[in-house]
Every structure is written in structure tokens, then in C-alpha cells.
Amino acid sequence: MKFLVCISNVPDTTTKIAFTPDNKEFNKAGVQFVINPWDEYALTRAIELKEAQGGGTVTVLNVGEADTEPNIRKALAIGADDAIRVNAHPKDAFFVAQQIASIAKDGGYDVILMGKESIDYNGFQVHGMVGELLGIPTVAPAMKLDLSGNTATLEREIEGGKEIVEVNTPFVASCQQPMCEPRIPNMRGIMTARTKPLKVVEATADAARTEVAAFALPPQKQGVKLIPAESAGDLIRLLRNEAKVI
Amino acid sequence: MSVLVVVECDGGEVKKSSLEVASYGSQVAQMLGTTATAVAVGEATEANLAQLGEQGITKVLHDAEPRLKDFVNGAYTKLIAAAAQKEDAKIIVLANSNIGASVGSRLSIRLQASIATNVVELPKIDGGSFTVKRGAFSGKAFADVKLDGDRKIIAVKKNSIEALHEAGKTAQVEAFSAQLSDADFADAPKQVVMQDQAGGILLPEADLVVSGGRGMKGPENWNLIEELAKALGAATACSKPVSDVDWRPHHEHVGQTGITVSPNLYIACGISGAIQHLAGVNSSKVIVVINKDPEAPFFKAADYGIVGDVFDVLPKLTQAVKELN
């Protein structure tokens, strides 16, 4: 079975967010980038399923410029077999989805996995767009994924519960907890990752449909109002009379 | 040309987040000098759909196909696309829910529309320019996003828009068929499992949330969280370490890789406030932090705080709520 796992390159989860002076771009200066945490679930589950089947391939795909390669290599070190980088700035979800669909169309992949969203743009869009562009089902967000032959059984989160869904390959799923325990690379993986193939292809000419006019930080909090523990009940009166939330 | 609002229903009732979405859609329609039509998905009663008039909706399209009771991505996408075509909708508004965002992204391709999810304000419309404000960087920032093209899809974040209530106004409910075939239900669920919710309040829909962290010391102490939540009519939640060690189920985990919530009130009990947890809650209107460590980083993000032992403080709060009620 051929797995395609799409990963994003995102600022480390503890990064203090700042923007360029024109507020149009995230300020990357001094920021550590990581594989999008949601995508790590997709990557690890694909590797687990491949191992369980005793064969197949896991290809990692990233739409990004050359500075994303350390994290692509990390994905190879975790256990992916090969990688493709679409050499382009990921303009918006539509642009990225078109690149993924274009690669997937030619690659004959059975299962396309990715995280439910990226922790920087929080779009929750790419998986659905890819599914629609390819004319195959999308299951999002998936909390569990098992394969039996060409049939996949997934648990999909809905508000207040879950749906158990069966689909045939090929399909797209976006992944989230508690799908698996994301793996970290071991020394052997890091060594072998250096020699695994990483193909760089140019983007298709398709345009984006959205553009960020400006980023902004939320207003600063006014500061905490502390209530003595011994008169904790006063808090409830403040929440009703002052904050008016209960 | 109109605005189409996607209304999610559950057990016959319109979800609270969909009342907000309907209000958003009708205000956008007013800005554009047109009307807002809704299309209902899920199990809906005609009486409840007619009440969407209170949110400014003039007409509701309702496909009574029983298999639409549960979410089916393929069928919902086709239904909403058909409604959008019928109404010549240029703007489609949905909830930023698992249903709304899943369908919205597929629709954006099918209808050749631009899309913004996680939207927190009404759009700015200036000549040909259409800009929406959306959350980004896990709630640590906002982005003003320009949507291009003739058709636009907007997924509205819960609790971002006040629901309108114009008493006595009703919407006309119209039977609608999207001519769905068996193939449209290829990804229909084999089974739907609903979780036990404390007090029956769904965390993603909740106005009030009481949440516990490792400071609660063990699952046997969660009755203190549940009693306060019950008194307040709140949902319960937890931090990631708590769900990781199975003190609480995953569906209560709030944070960067869990559920993102934006309630009116978030009470964090024994949670230190790691940046990944804050990412899931920092768009809450009011944050209360209870922690015995005065240096806990969560106090910096809080509106109200109590430095004290949760085991002493929580019973006092529950008692105070009961007295107030």
C-alpha cells in the first residue's frame, strides 16, 4: 500500500508570535521550526500501518521552500521512505491543496494522510480540498485508523461524540489525537535519513484565492484580579455582577 | 444573489453555534442589500427551523431525507452545493465546527469559492474588497484575510458573534430535495457513539467551562470539578497531561492539540498554563485561574485568580454558586 503523508513546517509550539514590520508575514527570525504536531500523528500512523502490513511505502510531501528540508529529513528519520518537496511558498490552503492533488494524481497513492490543521494558520481546509480535487472521500478529523485490505475503518470526531466510518481506498484523512503516540527519530533513523531520496519539484502555476492583508496580536490583558482564598465565594459574585458571565 | 447559511441541527433543535451563524449571515445579507436563506442539516423540526426568523433568516430549505440525520461528508456537501446553486448564493456561512469546516473545504472546490475558517468578526466590505478577521497561530494572533472571487465561504468561530433574537419573527420553511443517491452516502457512518457529557453540556458548545489539571492529583477528585460545573451549568474539561494519563477522556482535552474553546467563562483548576494549553483557551472572554503556585504562568493570562489549594477553594465556589442560585 502506498501512503502519502503531507507535512507542514510550523513555528515551535512555544514560540512567541511576532510579525514583520508591515504585519504581512510571520517574523521567522530566531524561531525554531518543527513538523506540525497534528501531522506527526499522520506520519506515525502511516509508518505503523506500513510496518503492520509488512510492505508498502510512506512518502512525505511538503509544500515549502528549501528551509523546510531539515524537518523533511526528520520525517525520513522517523521512518518515511522518501520525500517530495514542492518548491514554493505555501500561499494559502487552496494553493497547497492543488500542489498535493497534483502530486497525488500521478503517484497512485492509496491513503493520503495529514494533520487536521496546521498550528500556525489553523485552516482545517487542505484535506477537504484535496479530497474534492481528487474526487475521493475525506474523513476529518480522524481519531483512529485501521486498514483491512482496501477498506479503512476510521473514528471521526463529531461534536459530542464520534462516528465510525468505513471507506475504501483511495481516501484522504486528517489526523488528531489519540490516533497514535508520535515517534521521535532514533540514531539509526537519523543516519539512514541522509541517504533517503528527497525529490524537489516546482509548483504548478495555480493561484491562491486568499491573501493575508495584515496579522495582529490580540489586545493585552488588563492584569489578573486576585481574590483571597479564604473569601473565594466573592469570586462568584464578581463573575455575576462585574464580569456578567454567569 | 443571496447569502446562504448552513444550520446544524441535533435532536430536532438548532445548535447554539448555528444561531450565531444565522445571525452572522443575516447581518452580511443586510450589508449587501439582500436576504439570507438557511439550509438545514441534521435532524430538524419545522417549528424550530421557522424560529430562525428571530436571527434574521427569511427562508429555510429543509431536505427531510432521514439518512441526513448523521453527518455524511459526501451527502452534506452535495446538499449544500445544490442549495447554493438554487439560491445563487455568493456568500455561504457555516459554523467553524467539525461539520462546517469539513464540508466548507470540499464546497470551496466544488463551487470555486474562496474560504476563510475560524472567522471572529463580521466582514469589512469596501467596494470590491471583502476582508474577514480570523484567528491564527492557535489563538495567539489574528489575520485579516482578503477573500477573492465571486463566491466566498465563511466558517464562523463559536461564541464570536452575538446571536440576534428578534422575537416573533419567523422564517418560511420550504421542502427541498438535493436528489441524493446512494453513492452520496458512501462515507455514511456505520455507527455513531455519543460521549457521556457532564450535565449533558457539550464542551465545544459550552458557554461556561470548568477545567482541571494535574493539580487535581487524581481522577478520584474530579467530583469537585463536576460539582462546580453542575452548579454553574458548565461543561467539564481537562489539560493534556490529565488526558494522557487517562484521568479524563480525550474529548475533554483542551489545548493546542486538543479542543479549542472560546466560552464566556473558563475556570482553570490546578492547571499551570503551559503555552500549548493557553492556545486552546485564550479566546475565552473571561479566564479564572485557581492554583496554589502564585508563579503559575496561567495567572498572566487570567482575568480573575485565586492563589490557593483547589481542594479548599472549589467547595467554597460551589457553595457560593448554590447560594446565588
pLDDT over 90 (residue B111): yes
pLDDT over 80 (residue B199): no
Pairwise CA distance, residues B325 & B322, whole Å: 5
Is the Cβ of A187 closer than 8 Å to some Cβ of chain B?
Answer: no
Mean pLDDT for A58-77 is 98
Query: Which is it for the CA torsion B101, B105, B110, B112, positive or negative?
Result: positive
Pairwise CA distance, residues B237 & B242, whole Å: 10
ipTM value, please give it.
0.94
Least confident of B8-17, B110-119, B142-151, B303-312: B8-17
Q: Return the C-alpha cell found at A172.
A: 484522504
Q: How far is CA A24 from the centre of its chain?
A: 22
Which residues 144-183 of A are in CB contact (within 8 Å) with B? 156-167, 176-178
Which residues 108-137 of A are in CB contact (within 8 Å) with B? 119-129, 131-133, 137
Binned at pLDDT 50, 70 and 90, residue B198 comes out as low
Pairwise CA distance, residues A204 & A86, whole Å: 9
Compare CB distances from A235 to B97, B105, B304 and report the shortest one's residue.
Answer: B304
Chain B residues in contact with A225 by the CB 8 A cut-off are 303-305
pLDDT tens per residue across span B48-81: 999 999 999 999 999 999 999 999 999 999 999 9
Please answer yes or no on whether A123 and B117 come within 8 Å at the CB atom. yes
Mean pLDDT for A111-135 is 96
**What mean pLDDT, rounded, does chain A reach?**
95
Q: Answer with the residue of higher pLDDT: B88 or A159.
A: B88
Q: Classify each residue of B125-151 as buried b or exposed e, where b means 16 or more C-beta atoms within 10 Å of its C-beta.
A: eeeeebbbbbbbbbbbbbbbbbbbeeb
Pairwise CA distance, residues A114 & B270, whole Å: 33
Please answer yes or no on whether B320 and A232 come within 8 Å at the CB atom. yes
Binned at pLDDT 50, 70 and 90, residue A105 comes out as very high
DSSP label at residue B105:
H
Binned at pLDDT 50, 70 and 90, residue B197 comes out as low
Please answer yes or no on whether B144 and A221 come within 8 Å at the CB atom. no
Helices (H), A91-202: 93-107, 126-134, 187-193
Q: DSSP letter string over B165-198?
A: --TT--PEEEE------GGGGTT-EEEEEEPP-G
Binned at pLDDT 50, 70 and 90, residue B126 comes out as very high
Q: In this structure, are residues B94 and B15 in contact, taking their beta carbons and an 8 Å threshold?
A: no
Is the Cβ of A220 closer than 8 Å to some Cβ of chain B?
Answer: no
Q: Return the C-alpha cell found at B102.
A: 469539513
Q: Three-class SS string for B152-172? A: EEEEECCCCCCCCCCCCCCCE
End-to-end CA distance of chain B: 48
Q: What is the pLDDT of residue B127?
A: 86
* CA atoms in the 13 A half-sphere facing the CB of A228: 2
Element (H, E) at B73: helix B73-87
Binned at pLDDT 50, 70 and 90, residue A194 comes out as very high
Least confident of A70-74, A94-98, A155-159, B174-178: A155-159
Element (H, E) at A165: strand A161-168
Pairwise CA distance, residues A44 & A5, whole Å: 10
Q: In this structure, are residues B234 and B206 in contact, taking their beta carbons and an 8 Å threshold?
A: yes
Count of CB pairs separated by less than 8 Å, A with B = 260
Please answer yes or no on whether A161 and B192 come within 8 Å at the CB atom. yes
Please answer yes or no on whether A227 and B306 come within 8 Å at the CB atom. yes
Closest to B56 measured CA to CA, from B176, B175, B167, B174: B167
Q: Which of B8, B10, B78, B102 to mutate against chain A (most A CBs within 10 Å)?
A: B102
Q: Return the C-alpha cell found at A156.
A: 471521526
Return the bridge partners of A156, or none.
Answer: A142, A163
Please answer yes or no on whether B105 and A128 come within 8 Å at the CB atom. yes
Mean pLDDT for B179-204 is 84
Compare CB distances from A159 to B186, B205, B306 and report the shortest one's residue.
Answer: B205
Q: In this structure, are residues A85 and A72 in contact, taking their beta carbons and an 8 Å threshold?
A: yes
Mean pLDDT for B89-95 is 97
Compare CB distances from A162 to B110, B193, B208 and report the shortest one's residue.
Answer: B193
Nearest CA to CA, how far is A233 from chain B (Å)? 5
Pairwise CA distance, residues A167 & B249, whole Å: 26
Nearest CA to CA, how far is A191 from chain B (Å)? 30
Pairwise CA distance, residues B228 & B221, whole Å: 12
Compare CB distances from A124 to B101, B137, B300 and report the shortest one's residue.
Answer: B101
What does residue B105 show for φ and ψ, rounded to 5 degrees?
-70, -40
Mean pLDDT for B93-109 is 96
What does residue B225 show for φ and ψ, rounded to 5 degrees?
-65, -45
Is the Cβ of A194 closer than 8 Å to some Cβ of chain B?
Answer: no
Please answer yes or no on whether B147 and A166 come within 8 Å at the CB atom. no
Q: Return the C-alpha cell found at B166.
A: 428578534
Is the Cβ of A18 closer than 8 Å to some Cβ of chain B?
Answer: no
Please answer yes or no on whether A222 and B114 come within 8 Å at the CB atom. no
Sheet with strand B304-307: strands edge to edge? A225-226, B304-307, B286-291, B265-269, B208-212, B235-238
pLDDT over 70 (residue B196): no
